[in-house]
Amino acid sequence: MTADAPLDGLTVLEISSFVAAPLGGMTLAQLGANVIRVDPPGGGADFGRWPLAPSGTSLYWTALNKGKRSVTLNLRDAEGQRLLGGLLAASRSGGGIVLTNAPGRGLLSYAELARLRPDLIHLQIQGYRDGRPAVDYTVNAETGFPLITGPEGAAGPVNHVLPAWDVACGLYAAVGLLAAERRRQRTGAGSEITLALADVATAVAGHLGFLAEAQIIEEARPRVGNHLYGSFARDFATADGERIMVVALTRRHLTDLAAVTGLTGTFTELERLLRADFGEEGDRYRHRQVIAALLEPWFSARPREAVEQALSGTSVLWSRYRSFADLAADGTLGQNPLLREISQPGIGPLLAPGSPLVMDGADGPRPAPELGADTASVLTGLLGLTQADVRELARRGIVGAPSGPPG
């Protein structure tokens, strides 16, 4: 990482597991922050989480910890706790920042750590604002989304495979830490920040209008399958068994879609008969079934390549459905400037994403460290310990020696 990286000089201690907190730390690391992940010797609860490479290395763990440094400390031992305090106090400029999802009590609480560093910035991710535990899948269940997701007529909830609230929470965490650091630069004051996963989900549901809709509109939002609620979008099967997602958000989109499918006159007559205006989103949504039924024969009579060729050059928004395997096998993936080949310990060469923020000084992806790989360099570099000191700490089980890639 270059010296002109956006967050060069910022040091963050991350004591975390699973998705939200590690994603927040990685977001900062990819912008140049010195993010030191602290784990117990042998790894934390997420060290071997699926999916796994053939070697047994966690693809999950390595993906979420790219570009960080790894230190292993036994925080159950008083000496390990003292070392953590030393790391917290060591970097006076740009340090004193902790990101954690550990329980908000005891050693890792703001109250305890602020004794060691009065200007501490401490962000704790928790399940609920009152401290009760929760995870993405339980929060999602109670927020309402699974009951409007899935095919029309489905009887039970349909969960989403994307941990959306974890992802949003991790990005909120990165923003929160940077906001607190900016305030500390102005005032010298630290910050105690809590970020509840349930609050993130509720906030997003509110920002997108779902909560307002539930309060004001008596009729509950229905399941609409792969249709787009409030406008027109749906998937269509092609002659060779593939599927294309087609989106018409504007009058021009639908006009171009009608022209390319030869349905301009049909749609005009349909609008007259239905007393509708397909230039209006609401009318496109209300009559989505008949619009889709008219479009289906055109798609089903053509192979995917012919459909793509016809839609290319129009304003219509569309995309072929692809599996992750299709995406990985796509020869153009390596040409994406977001991705770069890295050599990941325990896995080997693979394409990995850097930060999607394109800005001066930002660098590409760096591999995740082996667990504990930076213990000696961090303790000698920041605390002034000798290599002999570190070896003695490892002998006593206070720190862990580098243990190879996660698995």
Three-state SS string across 301-324, please?
Answer: CCCHHHHHHHHCCCCCEEEECCCH
Residue type, 225: G
- Buried b / exposed e over 342-361, threshold 16 CB at 10 Å, is bebbbbeebebebbeeeeee
* Residue 318 · residue 378 · CB < 8 Å: no
Tell me the average pLDDT across 257-276.
98
Q: Please give the single-letter amino acid code of residue 219.
A: E
pLDDT at 406 over 60: no
Q: What pLDDT sits at residue 104?
A: 82
Q: Report pLDDT digits (tens) over 165-221.
A: 999 999 999 999 999 999 999 999 999 999 999 999 999 999 999 999 999 998 989
Report the distance separating Cα 314 and Cα 316, nearest Å.
5
**Can you tell me the mean pLDDT for 18-35?**
97
Task: Put the strands of the sheet holding 121-126 in their side by side order.
Answer: 69-72, 34-39, 11-15, 97-100, 121-126, 191-196
82: pLDDT strictly greater than 60:
yes
How do beta strands 339-344 and 348-353 pair? antiparallel
Determine the distance from the C-alpha atom of residue 77 to the mean position of all C-alpha atoms in its chain, rounded to a whole number: 33
Are 244 and 306 contacting, i.e. CB atoms less than 8 angstroms apart? no
Would you call 166 a catalytic residue per the annotation?
Answer: yes
CATH number, domain 11-206+334-395:
3.40.50.10540
Catalytic residue among 39, 46, 136, 166: 166
Q: Where are the domains of the chain?
A: 11-206+334-395, 243-320
Burial class (CB in 10 A: 0-12, 13-18, 19+), 403: middle
Arithmetic mean of pLDDT, 325-343: 92
Predicted pLDDT of residue 1: 60
